[in-house]
Chain A
Amino acid sequence: MIKARITVTLKNGVLDPQGKAIEHALSGLGFGGVGAVRQGKVFDVELAETDKAKAEADLKAMCDKLLANTVIENYSVTLT
């Protein structure tokens, strides 16, 4: 079995109101010097596949087809 972690983040230039609110909340807690905060998503996926190259190709296809909206988001795939 192969385990993977997929990280989905907003592209540069895409407004992130939730990240902004988190940024303000951190400042409110007294954490000085907090720059921009951007919120993203993490998916931990288990695959029955044993071939790493095949698994990686499948995971990328999953990102392109569903897990990420490539209009606004980037993704990265790491086998763990």
Chain B
Amino acid sequence: MKSAVVLLPGLNRDRDMIAALTKISGKPPATVWQTDTEIPDVDLIAIPGGFSFGDYLRCGAIAARMPVMRAVAEKAARGVMVIGVCNGFQILVEAGLLPGALMRNTSLKFVCRQVKLEIANANTMFTRRYQPGQIIRSPVAHHDGNYFADADTLARIEGEGQVVFRYAEGTNPNGSINDIAGIVNEQGNVLGLMPHPENLIEAAHGGSDGRALFEGALGIAA
């Protein structure tokens, strides 16, 4: 299974994502730059975290309109898996590839800590290596992770099982509606989440709770 990482100015978790994909899949991912209009033939495209374009206008807003995102949308429409972490999640909602929006944390503070996540849907390409309802740990680091969707959209994504990760055991760090931490699109091949599973993949990280997400997506035996 091959992967690619999208690079944009202002991202700062790109090296973490590249390291995680390299360690887990055994080969380094391809990298694509913001102005690239074509993405190589891969199974998984990852959009890392950071502060693309300085979070100007709205988090992810400018990145979402760069040429590379049109290429990501075309790949996604053809069923290629896409994962957006943190700023990557914000970019996916701004690009319209995922529903809803990510607002300023209700505390108005940047949060950098470990949270607990409940696997709300284990029946996706990304969560198939977890058990339904399983609680895993994950780091978060963001200022705008407060997921919002209007009532109709919320009812739809809840009803369709598109909510994949929820903050568990009172660890919601940002006021996100229904404790939503990560969602997939209707087709289930595009995932966005605020937590950083790529930062918890080996003993040196203090745990490997995030590893199964990439192993599941890349079809790699645990």
Mark A residues whose CB is within 8 Å of B: 13-18, 21, 65-67, 69, 71-72
Cβ–Cβ < 8 Å partners of A71 in chain B = 93, 99-101, 149-150
Cβ–Cβ < 8 Å partners of B104 in chain A = 17-18
Cβ of B10 under 8 Å from chain A: no
A66 contacts B65, CB within 8 Å?
Answer: yes
A15 contacts B106, CB within 8 Å?
Answer: yes
Mark B residues whose CB is within 8 Å of A: 57-58, 61-62, 65, 93-94, 99-101, 103-108, 146, 148-150, 175
Cβ–Cβ < 8 Å partners of A69 in chain B = 58, 61, 94, 101
B57 contacts A17, CB within 8 Å?
Answer: no
B146 contacts A15, CB within 8 Å?
Answer: yes
B175 contacts A17, CB within 8 Å?
Answer: yes
Give the nearest-CB partner of B93 in chain A: A71
Give the nearest-CB partner of A71 in chain B: B101
A17 contacts B105, CB within 8 Å?
Answer: yes
A18 contacts B108, CB within 8 Å?
Answer: yes
- Provide the bound-state CA to CA distance between A69 and B102, in Å: 11
Which of B93, B94, B148 is A15 in contact with, Cβ under 8 Å? B148
Q: List 5 A-B contacts (CB under 8 A).
A: A17-B108, A17-B146, A18-B108, A66-B61, A72-B103
B108 contacts A72, CB within 8 Å?
Answer: no
- Provide the bound-state CA to CA distance between A14 and B150, in Å: 8
Cβ–Cβ < 8 Å partners of B105 in chain A = 17
Query: Taking A14-B103, A21-B108 as contacts, is the C-beta distance between A72 and B61 under 8 angstroms?
Result: no
- Provide the bound-state CA to CA distance between A13 and B57, in Å: 21
Cβ–Cβ < 8 Å partners of A15 in chain B = 103, 106, 146, 148, 175
B57 contacts A66, CB within 8 Å?
Answer: yes
- Provide the bound-state CA to CA distance between A72 and B90, in Å: 13
10 closest A-B pairs by CB: A72-B101, A71-B101, A17-B106, A17-B104, A17-B108, A21-B108, A18-B104, A69-B58, A69-B101, A66-B65
Residue from A15, A67, A71 whose CB has the most chain B CB atoms within 10 Å: A71
